[in-house]
Structure 1
Amino acid sequence: MRKTIIIASTILVFILFIIFFVSRFKNQSPATSNQSLVTPTAVILEEDQESRIRNQELVNSALSFTPYEDENFRFDYSAETNKLVVQEKTPEAREKFFEWTNQNGLPELAGNPELVVFENQNNNLTIQQFNNSDQDFDPVIDFLNIFLNFGRGEENSNQNFPTSNLQLPNQTSNLQPPTSGFIYYAQCDSPYADLPLPDGSCNLCQAGCGPSTVAMITASYLGPNFNPQTIVDMYKSRGFLLSCAGSRYSDAKSLLQSLGLKTTDYLVFDYESSDQVVSDFKKYLDAGWTFFTLANFKENGGGHYFWVTEIDDTGNIWAYDPYYGRFEAPPINENSRYPYPKYRLAFGVKK
């Protein structure tokens, strides 16, 4: 009898174990099945985007060496094309530049037409410059470029900027320009239009909105002895970049300061329209400042400099524009091309 009880108990325990195991399996199997369907994924950058980010890193690394000049070449950066420019001064310039890149830990710049543009002794480009219209807009790269290259901007005024008939809601077409009494200089259709720039291959009309704007500011604040000719001569004597590639806003700021004018820190904008920047401008303008300004007039075009002198009660931005203002009495209403210009940078200036 005792033996029978032991056998029955063993069988009962075994049955209970089987029931427990089956119950556990049923409760867990759906979750296990669902988990098995989850496949880990990784965010992989597209090959071209990886290449562009790598190129941007190389450019940023090279910025610490700019500007550089020796007896063979001059090395500098162009913010408009986001390229490094090598001006060849001797026949051995390119070979010496390659040696220099190796010595300074920048060997990837050698023979890299995506990043480096060469200008020969006659200042003609020997490698095609980067065409912004063929590049997809990448906000990450553009944002890095603005802030990592802060203070090194350039302009290129030989662009055919489109105009727009779109108007702000508070704008009327028969607005009368405010009377400021400042001196105006046009970069084109003027006695200075054919003034050669220091590199000899471009003139004021083609790429001179920077010095033309500086000339208007200095003549208005310091006297009519300043004009585009005297300003171009100052750029040349100080070794400032002024060529078909444009000019640097940092050089304009430096020149204005050296002549005794006061300037503010840079105001940096992310290609913003007039209604987005007007409040920032107005605070300074109400305190007596005017603005040396850099903006774009088409989506993928180069930058253009002009001088913002006033904002009216309805938010219209009035400026002495060396290119677009040449056919009418200054200042002109820059809002007439809304949503352009797209503002990129400005600094205040006053006497």
Structure 2
Amino acid sequence: MKKTIIIASSILLVLLLVLFIFSRFKKQGGNINELPSVTPTTVPLTNLNLLTESDKNVFNRALLLTPYEDENFSFDYSPETDQLVVHEKTPQGRDKFTEWANMNSVSELINIPNLVTFTGQSTFNPTLDTKFNPAIEFLNILMNFGRGSGDLKAPDNINPQNPPSTISPQLSDFTYYAQCDSEYAELPLPSGCNNCNAGCGPTTVAMIAASYLGQNYNPQTIIGKYQTLGYELSCAGSSYIDAKSLLESLGLKTTDYLVFNYEPADIITSDLKKFIDAGWTFFTLANFTDTGGGHYFWVTDIDNQGNVWAYDPLYGRFQAPPYNENDRYPFPKYRLAFGVKK
């Protein structure tokens, strides 16, 4: 009798397994043609070194407009892909970006996929089939029979999600000027273009001079001094040598040049922090793309975590200063700096 029960139980278990496998196969086979097709919204990445000079010029002009965000889209530079990224927040996102690009004289972006990547909010999230299957339920009961329910307890080794960043800069009384989106944006440079296009050098000098010497200095007065002294200031930008000479002529102290080999923040901060702790700040030159030109900003502090806090005339214009340059890591890649103080 006992042997008969064991044989019958085995046969029942085999039948249940066959029924389970058959039901799974049938369900999967019936859904194959129901899966929606997923169309990628990003364009293939292309090495920016392959761009024409005209395209590089468009890229650099567009870079000056980053970051930008409104209710329809966001626009920013991605160091990881070395591309400009448009994230469409609404169904009208791409059309609104096109209008915005036309208004800002970078309409060429629309037709050059090498320069810009579009991303959307739509993602494919398959839904689990929650229909009741008696064979599966019975099999689950049979397989778990005698184990008991136990206490529902979360594993002890689950790592909690990282808390939101609480990094905050040390406040200062320094003066901030923006080269774009400000009253100084349209100031003409002596040899062409305007302050928004290529005025990061004189705008940075103006912030340093105003902070240490008084509010008589601003981008307009500093651009005037560049012109009076015959310093180069054009669509190609300006020279750090001239910036150093001008600051010294105003009575400020400077250090020798610290030269870096396009290195990220974690490589150069230990050198700069020694001077920062001694009361120096830094007029700094760095690159924010591997193919673009340099950009000047004023490093005012480096904290114990290696965050580089700066008065950045371009990238820092959308928030109260100072701006954390490490937000774009591994950019900026540092090229040169010199210390300055009163």
Q: Place the TM-score, normalised by the shorter chain, in its bin.
A: 0.5 to 0.7
Q: 1:263 aligns with which of 248, 254, 267?
A: 254
| Aligned mates of 1:318, 1:133 — CA distance in 2 | 30
One-letter amino acid of the counterpart of residue 255, structure 2: T
- 1:175 maps to 167
2:335 is aligned with 1:344: yes
| Aligned mates of 2:215, 2:335 — CA distance in 1 | 29
One-letter amino acid of the counterpart of residue 182, structure 2: S
Q: 2:49 aligns with which of 118, 125, 133?
A: 133
Structure 1 residues 34-113: aligned runs within 5 Å = none
Q: Deviations over 1:103-124 (max 9, x none)?
A: xxxxxxxxxxxxxxxxxxxxxx
Cα root mean square deviation, aligned: 2.4
Q: 2:184 aligns with which of 189, 192, 198?
A: 192
Q: 2:207 aligns with which of 192, 216, 219?
A: 216
Q: What is the CA-CA distance between 1:215 and the residue it aligns to? A: 0.2
Aligned residue for 1:162, secondary structure, equals: strand
2:145 is aligned with 1:229: no
Distance change in 2, residues 1:159/1:258 (3 Å): farther
| Aligned mates of 1:228, 1:310 — CA distance in 2 | 22
Task: Kindly indicate whether the alpha-carbon contact (under 8 Å) linking 2:297 and 2:313 is maintained by their aligned counterparts in 1.
Answer: yes
| Aligned mates of 1:230, 1:163 — CA distance in 2 | 35
- 2:229 maps to 238
- 1:275 maps to 266
Q: What is the CA-CA distance between 1:159 and the residue it aligns to? A: 6.1
Instruction: Structure 1: give runs of 5+ residues left out of the alignment.
Output: 1-131, 136-156
- 1:45 maps to none
Q: What is the CA-CA distance between 1:180 and the residue it aligns to? A: 1.2
Q: What is the CA-CA distance between 1:322 and the residue it aligns to? A: 0.1
2:318 is aligned with 1:327: yes
Identity %: 67
Task: Kindly indicate whether the alpha-carbon contact (under 8 Å) linking 2:79 and 2:289 is maintained by their aligned counterparts in 1.
Answer: no
- 1:204 maps to 195
One-letter amino acid of the counterpart of residue 188, structure 2: P
Q: Deviations over 1:23-67 (max 9, x none)?
A: xxxxxxxxxxxxxxxxxxxxxxxxxxxxxxxxxxxxxxxxxxxxx
TM-score for both structures, normalised by structure 1: 0.53
Task: Kindly indicate whether the alpha-carbon contact (under 8 Å) linking 2:282 and 2:338 is maintained by their aligned counterparts in 1.
Answer: yes
Q: What is the CA-CA distance between 1:173 and the residue it aligns to? A: 3.5
| Aligned mates of 2:163, 2:303 — CA distance in 1 | 11
Distance change in 2, residues 1:225/1:214 (3 Å): same
| Aligned mates of 2:255, 2:202 — CA distance in 1 | 19
Structure 1 residues 156-167: aligned runs within 5 Å = 158=61, 160=63, 162-164=77-79
Q: What stretches of structure 1 move > 6 A for 4+ residues in a row?
A: none
| Aligned mates of 1:238, 1:227 — CA distance in 2 | 17
- 2:279 maps to 288
Aligned residue for 1:263, secondary structure, equals: strand
Instruction: Structure 2: give runs of 5+ residues left out of the alignment.
Output: 1-47, 52-59, 64-75, 82-161
Task: Kindly indicate whether the alpha-carbon contact (under 8 Å) linking 1:197 and 1:203 is maintained by their aligned counterparts in 2.
Answer: yes
One-letter amino acid of the counterpart of residue 196, structure 2: C
Task: Kindly indicate whether the alpha-carbon contact (under 8 Å) linking 2:200 and 2:297 is maintained by their aligned counterparts in 1.
Answer: yes
Q: What is the CA-CA distance between 1:176 and the residue it aligns to? A: 1.7
| Aligned mates of 1:165, 1:300 — CA distance in 2 | 13
Task: Kindly indicate whether the alpha-carbon contact (under 8 Å) linking 1:193 and 1:204 is maintained by their aligned counterparts in 2.
Answer: yes
| Aligned mates of 2:164, 2:80 — CA distance in 1 | 11
Task: Kindly indicate whether the alpha-carbon contact (under 8 Å) linking 1:215 and 1:226 is maintained by their aligned counterparts in 2.
Answer: yes
Aligned residue for 2:77, secondary structure, equals: coil
| Aligned mates of 1:208, 1:295 — CA distance in 2 | 15
Task: Kindly indicate whether the alpha-carbon contact (under 8 Å) linking 1:133 and 1:301 is maintained by their aligned counterparts in 2.
Answer: no
How many residues were matched structurally?
A: 196
Q: What is the CA-CA distance between 1:313 and the residue it aligns to? A: 1.4
Q: Deviations over 1:155-210 (max 9, x none)?
A: xx8461824589xxx9964422220110000000000000000024x000000000
